[in-house]
Structure 1
């Protein structure tokens, strides 16, 4: 008898999950595809910030303020990515499968 939804802050996640489970499969699939594309863009952007942070960290001419700002930006991006990943996971759970999503092609 564990009803800890409000005690541990899961009410919002439970509400989202129930909202997703009420959606039509076609709507869920479109939502999942869009969320996967967003997730891919976030990963690419996060990686660019991480690379810049590591370059600055190893550059003796980079100021500590620049390094600290890049570290803060990367940490904030990771938190944002984590939240987006959780939502994507809930959508995929409700959908029941991971839809095929073609890779983005940059011309």
Structure 2
């Protein structure tokens, strides 16, 4: 298998699916865990915005290559809004077998 764009945390070749576990701060998830530093604010905003832009490019490339992408955000794994482990496993399994091309845990509420 050729090298994939980005560095997926988990790769499921049989399902042509990848999973990224993203830190809410480092990848700019809009949740209660994202707290901007009080010093060097502009530098941090540029750094984290660049991370987010790079993530989007990687995700688009993977989708164009026919891979399915699941983002698991840090807030789904820890903190006051974390999901129970059995629910996470169920959500991941459901996504893996459903064939959806892109999903996030927790799901984005619009």
TM-score, length-scaled by structure 1: 0.38
**Larger RCO (CA within 8 A; separation ≥ 6):** 1
More helix by share: 1
> How does the TM-score come out when normalised to structure 2?
0.37
* Larger-gyration structure (1/2): 1
The structure where strand makes up a greater share of residues is 2
